[in-house]
Structure 1
Amino acid sequence: MIRPGRVFLSIFFVLPAVAPARTWAQASSAPPIVIKDITVEGNRRVQDAVILGRVQTPIGAPFNPDRLSEDLRAIYGLGFFDDVQMRVEDFEGGIKVTFVVVERPFIRDVQFVGNKKLDTSALLEKAELKLGSVYNPVEVEKAAQRLKEQYEEEGYFEVKITPGIQKFADGDVRVTFGIDEGRRITIDQIVITGNQGLTAKQIKGVMETQERQYFILRGTVQRQKLEDDVERILALYNNHGYLQARVESHDITVDRKKARVTIALKIVEGPQFKVKSLDITGNRVLPLEDIRRQVLLKPGDVFSRQKLHETVDGITRLYGSAGHASADVAPLVSQNLEDRTVAIRLEITEGPEVYVERINISGNVRSQEKILRREIPFAEGDLFTSSKLDRAKQRLTNLGFFETVRASTSPGSDKSKILVNIDVVEKPTGMFSVGGGYSSADSFVGTVDLSQRNFLGRGWEVAARFRGGAAGTQGTLSFTEPWLFDRPLSAGFDVFDSRRIFSDYNFESAGGDVRFSHPFLDYARWYLNYRLTDDRISNLQGEALVSLGDEQGTRVTSAISPSVSRDTRDNVFTPARGNFSSLGMDFAGIGGDSKFVKFTGATSEFLPIWFNHILALHLEAAHIFGYEGKTVPLFERFYLGGPNSIRSFKFRALSPIDANGVKTGGTTQVLGNLEYLIPLPFNLRLAAFTDIGNVYGFSTKVDLTNLRYGIGGGLRWISPFGPIRIDYGINPDPRQGEKSGAFQFSVGSPF
């Protein structure tokens, strides 16, 4: 049995033995008794050096019982020992002091018996008992209490936890926790009283604690969550002008017979306050009109603490964008109980302009530092603005090289200087795979994919891809240098060869392209591509031989393609907010056989709604025409249907049809997509969508009242290499020969 009090008994019994010597030494002229040696006995695991390191009395010092008693207490304070005693004996003309210790047992194992609802690994983490640590019954009791709290967090209020130990032959112990979990107690109802200004539905709407709803919410009681809910309720009232509101009680009544609880919340609302005045002082750098545009409250409004916080944040960001990163906005709110109003004063301390003293970059193991620095739109010595720091984080995230990007600041050497800290966590950017799969466009395919988005850590993107199946084959080699000659000029090329088998004909294409792009303004970029391809249509079948006979044979297409885009998305791979818009054209006729002009325009908007839900809207239109008596080549015409257009139709299923029933492709297309995304655990997203559009061509006129549409849902997995999507689109109005829906499987964003 462990007896912490033994240390004091040891001191008591030692002192009488040494007291006569001490008295004799004081009463005579003989030299003092000297400590010749200090040793340790009884320790098995704890090293002598650790124990003697707590002893302040040195060898050669005069014998001092009081000082040695302090040393004894210090040794016991290590926490490794059940008992500590001190023995004093004659030794070489002086005395020898020996500290005799009895080590506490060590924890060799921790075992849980009876747990079925909670995993052993989770309980072990919660217990916080480390294997190999010293056994301490007080710590074991604390561990049992933590385990009980964990069970209560999950709604098991009847749980009983009994700690115990099992001794091994060498004295070590196994700590055991016997667990009787009992039943999970669920919430029968939440009763709210005292509320008049806000409804019970509004109050429950901000609470994480919820009543049981079968198959939706399990409605379990978690004490900490309930405490947090009290704060959420007060914040709700503060945002509706009730500055003196309080939750007077939040009682839990347990019906153990039914395993149900009732939570009773008693609220005292107090008066509702409105804004009487809002004054701004201290501004010299920025005009008052610019500051007031950030103010979300005006006289006569019901006071809202959240709107006040957002106002302060907006003004602070405004100053940060103007180079005053140290600006401080202090909101002062004075309540007037007589007329139930508040007077708000925003006191601004602008501070000096702040300059970047140093940019610290960490976490880049494979990536060269320069590929991070070139994405940061400021340098050391530049005026610091918070908007540029946000832009730096956005640009680094959009590289696709990093799992996380953290951009923060810390004070510099004086008030006018600031340190910028960029910390990244790299993620895999290379992929090698050999396998097979299913694509909505190609059916079953075999694939070989070798790609690296950050080759040699220099930001180069290289790829070699091959895919083949019943519908054809495709091979591609590509290379991109995003910063040619260390300038923000992206340059790259692609070489490709593909063969596709359609129902009416076969199509073969071989060639390559060279591409350049360069940013301009803050979020815009221009592109210039040149492509040269050798295209061949063969094996026309049935009626297609009549309708498309002129398309059979080989054509050389030489085309230049200028375009511009503007991209404000927060993340190009999985956007949650922002816009991407583009305008482009293809001009074919710089040599070669094809003569056509193609115009395209598209815009995508991403809006965060609530609870991290996202609403995405995409609009697209395109038109193509031939010139100098040439028709538009079949392989350049428009078709809709597939994973990136109208998902209720299979790949290229929508097309103008001639009198022979042959799909001839279109010269004009319009497309719209609306998608609602709900985040799920494990990097999953649930999607609901509506697609609408049509293709118009040689035999059909553009008619926006004649649009095809589809509705459906799907699942997205945000993998390290991009979103993987599975969708099912429903065709609500199938026409002759059409199916009622289609599955779509693809990799990448739909738009």
Structure 2
Amino acid sequence: MLLLAAILGLLLSNAALAARVENVIVRGNVRSNERLIRATSGISQGEEIGPALIQQAIRNIYALGVFSEVNLLGETTGVNTLNVIIEVKEYPILNQLTITGEDEIKESDIREKIRILPGQIVSPHAVTRAVEEVLTAYREKGYYLATVDPRQIELEGGRVDLDFVIDERERVQVKNIRFHGNESLPSKKLLDQMETKEDRWWRSADFDDEKYREDKEKILTFYRTQGFREATIVRDSVSVGDSGKDLYIDIWVEEGDRYRYGSISWNGNELISDQQIHRLLDLQEGDVYNREAFNEAVFRLASAYQEQGYWAVSIDPIETPTGNSVDVAFSIFEGEPSKVRFIDVVGNDKTKDKVIRREMALIPGDTFRRSDLERSHRNVFYLNFFENVEPDIKPLPSGDVDVIVSVTEKPTGTVNMAVGYGQVDKWVGSIGLSIPNLLGNGQQLDFQWEFGQTRTSFYLSFTEPWVLDTPTS
């Protein structure tokens, strides 16, 4: 039997004669299918074998991701023939995963990061990826000094136990936040926009990666309210100091020019007059460009159209920078008024549809108005039967709309009991029951029983808020 180098030597020493494969034999596989390995290698009986084919075969088998070692051996069977022997060593499979030392992150969350389950292959790549995922999760919570030590315990049958030993260490504190490139806006103003704070004697300054990402967006949002519509964060860095306990944040910004509004114009409006649009937009030439105020202006104009039934109105603001000013032209396509075609209620397992529908200010066939949608939402929520009420609008090709009201019911009804002792009545007690949504009909039932040695009283109340399906109680 010869190693791969010997095979290559045989082939290269006799260039005139080509070695052909008589058989392909697989050894060392326990769980892996022999046919799969042979087919993946790309080496077939009867074909000529050379260095390129051997190298490709090794790469192909490694690519399966289940072997820690792959060797090709050669066994001469004749002058120009040989058997190719593929020897493999399989990665172990996981028997049990344990996690020790975790406190700040739930064990279940860490397991989701590791993503190696019993019965799955434990490869160095999978373990390295899992360690990095867990460390990233700790860094996002400010534990930059946390360490993860994956320990493997070999068992019989190609199985291993895997123990992730975590040392969380101390949570780092934000020592200093420094801005670079902010020539127009002072660092203090930018710091005021951030939830991430610097460490002070009267407060801690834990670092949270998710909040920090949100802070960077808040900084850019603030810049755009101050006229810097092209401001960007070029780069940033988060580093741990020599003490291992202090965190330093550096943020480089590129402010760009500060813009003001130039000319404000619009076209396509027939339903709403120029004077009304001017008042609704409330944007003046020469004012500092403010993205937040600009978006609110567009929303006010769209709401004015939707209040009159034009739900599908299109308002397209076109911004044209000229020097340090921005000309804005609003292109308005009013379309046709939308009507309510259909109202559907979903999520109400207990509460009957009619209890919700009778609170709706929107009625199929009516012109759709935003104020009616808002009032419908408010009325249904104020029933106090639901944790959440979410109306959704489905535009139709005809221009009309369907309204889908999604509700999440909450437990309703209370029971109370009390026992007491007094000089006159001695032992007394009470039992009370209140059901605000009786049998899902929106009716109110209240019952109270008070009892003692000298007196007993009953109280029973039934409220029907919609007598004969009219808002009369």
TM > 0.5 between the two? yes
- Of 162, 168, 172, 1:185 maps to 172
Q: After alignment, is 403-412 or 162-171 more displaced?
A: 162-171
> How big is each residue's C-alpha offset from its partner over 1:157-213, in whole Å with a ceiling of 9 and x where there is no partner?
122223344455565554322223233211112122433432322211211221124
Whole-Å separation in 1 of the counterparts to 2:192 and 2:322: 30
- Equivalence for 1:309: 295
Note closer, same or farther for the CA distance 1:487–1:166 as it changes in structure 2 (3 Å cut).
farther
The aligned length equals 407
2:135 equivalent to 1:152: no
Note closer, same or farther for the CA distance 1:238–1:380 as it changes in structure 2 (3 Å cut).
same
1:138 Cα deviation from its structure 2 partner: 4.0
2:410 equivalent to 1:427: yes
The 8 Å contact of residues 94 and 122 in structure 2, kept in 1 or not, is answered as: yes
> SS of the counterpart of 1:122?
helix
Whole-Å separation in 2 of the counterparts to 1:226 and 1:452: 46
Note closer, same or farther for the CA distance 1:239–1:188 as it changes in structure 2 (3 Å cut).
same
- Equivalence for 2:217: 231
- Equivalence for 1:197: 184
Whole-Å separation in 2 of the counterparts to 1:108 and 1:436: 57
- Equivalence for 2:328: 344
> SS of the counterpart of 1:379?
coil
> How big is each residue's C-alpha offset from its partner over 1:421-451, in whole Å with a ceiling of 9 and x where there is no partner?
11111111112232469xxxxxxx9652201
The 8 Å contact of residues 276 and 342 in structure 1, kept in 2 or not, is answered as: yes
Whole-Å separation in 1 of the counterparts to 2:33 and 2:429: 75
Which amino acid in structure 2 is aligned with residue 261 of structure 1? L
- Of 345, 366, 382, 2:366 maps to 382
> SS of the counterpart of 1:280?
strand
1:288 Cα deviation from its structure 2 partner: 2.5
Which amino acid in structure 2 is aligned with residue 462 of structure 1? L
The 8 Å contact of residues 115 and 181 in structure 1, kept in 2 or not, is answered as: yes
> How big is each residue's C-alpha offset from its partner over 1:729-751, in whole Å with a ceiling of 9 and x where there is no partner?
xxxxxxxxxxxxxxxxxxxxxxx
- Of 312, 329, 332, 2:315 maps to 329
- Equivalence for 1:252: 238
> How big is each residue's C-alpha offset from its partner over 1:615-635, in whole Å with a ceiling of 9 and x where there is no partner?
xxxxxxxxxxxxxxxxxxxxx
- Equivalence for 1:264: 250
- Of 120, 129, 141, 1:142 maps to 129
- Of 441, 446, 465, 1:482 maps to 465
Whole-Å separation in 1 of the counterparts to 2:35 and 2:298: 60
The 8 Å contact of residues 186 and 219 in structure 1, kept in 2 or not, is answered as: yes
- Of 334, 344, 350, 1:360 maps to 344
- Of 394, 401, 408, 1:418 maps to 401
Note closer, same or farther for the CA distance 1:290–1:105 as it changes in structure 2 (3 Å cut).
farther
How does the TM-score come out when normalised to structure 1? 0.49
Q: Unpaired segments of 5 or more residues in structure 2?
A: 1-27, 49-59, 70-87, 421-427
1:334 Cα deviation from its structure 2 partner: 1.6
> SS of the counterpart of 2:162?
strand
Note closer, same or farther for the CA distance 1:12–1:336 as it changes in structure 2 (3 Å cut).
closer
Note closer, same or farther for the CA distance 1:288–1:366 as it changes in structure 2 (3 Å cut).
same
- Equivalence for 1:318: 304
Which amino acid in structure 1 is aligned with residue 99 of structure 2? F
Whole-Å separation in 2 of the counterparts to 1:5 and 1:201: 65
1:147 Cα deviation from its structure 2 partner: 1.2
Whole-Å separation in 2 of the counterparts to 1:80 and 1:361: 52
> SS of the counterpart of 1:457?
coil
Which amino acid in structure 1 is aligned with residue 149 of structure 2? T
Note closer, same or farther for the CA distance 1:331–1:117 as it changes in structure 2 (3 Å cut).
same
1:17 Cα deviation from its structure 2 partner: 3.3
> SS of the counterpart of 1:367?
coil
Note closer, same or farther for the CA distance 1:399–1:129 as it changes in structure 2 (3 Å cut).
farther
> How big is each residue's C-alpha offset from its partner over 1:431-478, in whole Å with a ceiling of 9 and x where there is no partner?
2232469xxxxxxx9652201110011000111135689xx9986422
- Equivalence for 1:370: 354
Which amino acid in structure 1 is aligned with residue 38 of structure 2? S
Whole-Å separation in 2 of the counterparts to 1:139 and 1:420: 48
Whole-Å separation in 2 of the counterparts to 1:431 and 1:325: 42
Note closer, same or farther for the CA distance 1:299–1:155 as it changes in structure 2 (3 Å cut).
same
1:127 Cα deviation from its structure 2 partner: 3.6
Note closer, same or farther for the CA distance 1:273–1:475 as it changes in structure 2 (3 Å cut).
farther
Which amino acid in structure 2 is aligned with residue 115 of structure 1? E
Whole-Å separation in 2 of the counterparts to 1:409 and 1:302: 35
Which amino acid in structure 2 is aligned with residue 431 of structure 1? T
Whole-Å separation in 2 of the counterparts to 1:436 and 1:194: 71
> SS of the counterpart of 2:45?
helix
> SS of the counterpart of 1:293?
helix
Whole-Å separation in 2 of the counterparts to 1:198 and 1:424: 45
Structure with the bigger percentage of strand: 1
- Of 266, 271, 282, 1:285 maps to 271
Whole-Å separation in 2 of the counterparts to 1:395 and 1:419: 19
- Equivalence for 1:212: 199
> SS of the counterpart of 2:211?
helix
Alignment RMSD, CA only? Answer: 3.7
Which amino acid in structure 1 is aligned with residue 352 of structure 2? Q
Q: Unpaired segments of 5 or more residues in structure 1?
A: 21-72, 84-100, 438-444, 492-751
Which amino acid in structure 1 is aligned with residue 467 of structure 2? L
Whole-Å separation in 1 of the counterparts to 2:34 and 2:217: 48
> How big is each residue's C-alpha offset from its partner over 1:242-269, in whole Å with a ceiling of 9 and x where there is no partner?
1232333323342131511222223332
1:282 Cα deviation from its structure 2 partner: 1.5
> SS of the counterpart of 1:192?
strand
The 8 Å contact of residues 331 and 345 in structure 1, kept in 2 or not, is answered as: yes
Whole-Å separation in 2 of the counterparts to 1:394 and 1:307: 26
- Equivalence for 2:281: 295
The 8 Å contact of residues 402 and 425 in structure 1, kept in 2 or not, is answered as: yes
The 8 Å contact of residues 327 and 351 in structure 1, kept in 2 or not, is answered as: yes
> SS of the counterpart of 2:258?
coil
Whole-Å separation in 1 of the counterparts to 2:46 and 2:360: 74
Note closer, same or farther for the CA distance 1:306–1:142 as it changes in structure 2 (3 Å cut).
same
- Equivalence for 1:17: 45
> SS of the counterpart of 2:402?
strand
- Equivalence for 1:462: 445
> SS of the counterpart of 1:311?
helix
